[in-house]
Amino acid sequence: MAAGILMAGLLALSAAPQTPPIFQPGAPGAPSRVISADEAYALGRSSFTPDDVAFMQHMIVHHAQAVEMVALLQTRGVHPTVQRLGQRIAQSQEAEMALMREWLIDRGQPVEMPGMGGGHAGMDHSAHAGHAMPPSDTPVMAGMLSPAQMQALAAASGPAFDRLFLEGMIRHHQGALDMVDALMARPDAAEDTMLSDFTTSVVGDQSAEILRMQSLLSDL
């Protein structure tokens, strides 16, 4: 009887699903080795490049401008569907900004990109220093609206604002996709698991939102 129970237990163990092994590639000429899931997770968090860091720092600034644009939408836009879409964009981008800050802090990296000094998402603040300079036509970075474009958006209202908002946010979203493409063209980019998942999410979400905004724009 005992032998039968032991045999049944062995059969049950042999039938249980087995976790596939995780292999870490070795150095050139060296064999791969099997590592644990915990080791793989730790490696995924540690394998980041300066390009990865710059991408996250820049994307925080990029997202901040989108949130600023939605803040204008809440007081100057009139189309309810555009309003709802803007709210969803702001909520998702604020959550992603928190994720990006956490990613940088967890890896001992500065949250602000060098030279920003607290950074502004796109509005021109030169007048605050007593300078009556016209707003710049040059964005903080590629894929963002320039201070002049942000000023034009802030000056608009009603249906004209809704149209400018959609046109600007489509351009803004395309800029984010271009940033991901530029990162992926760099050697060893986005090997960090969390960053890889994030870039995949950015491409999927913002591509879908571009299509939605193009449809709304054609109906205005």
For the stretch 40-96, pLDDT in tens is 655 555 589 999 999 999 999 999 999 999 999 999 999 999 999 999 999 999 999
Do 180 and 51 touch, CB atoms closer than 8 A?
Answer: no
Q: What string of DSSP letters covers 144-200?
A: S--HHHHHHHHH--HHHHHHHHHHHHHHHHHHHHHHHHHHHTSTTTT-SHHHHHHHH
Give the pLDDT confidence score for residue 46 in this predicted structure: 59
Give the pLDDT confidence score for residue 118 in this predicted structure: 46
39 has a pLDDT exceeding 50: yes
**In the chain, what are the domain boundaries?**
47-114+137-220
**Fold classified for 47-114+137-220:** Ferritin (1.20.1260)
* Residue carrying the six token digits 């959550």: 95
Q: What is the pTM of this model?
A: 0.73
Confidence of residue 126 (pLDDT cuts 50, 70, 90): very low
Give the pLDDT confidence score for residue 155 in this predicted structure: 97
Burial class (CB in 10 A: 0-12, 13-18, 19+), 19: exposed
Nearest Cα to Cα of residue 160 among 67, 85, 73, 81: 73
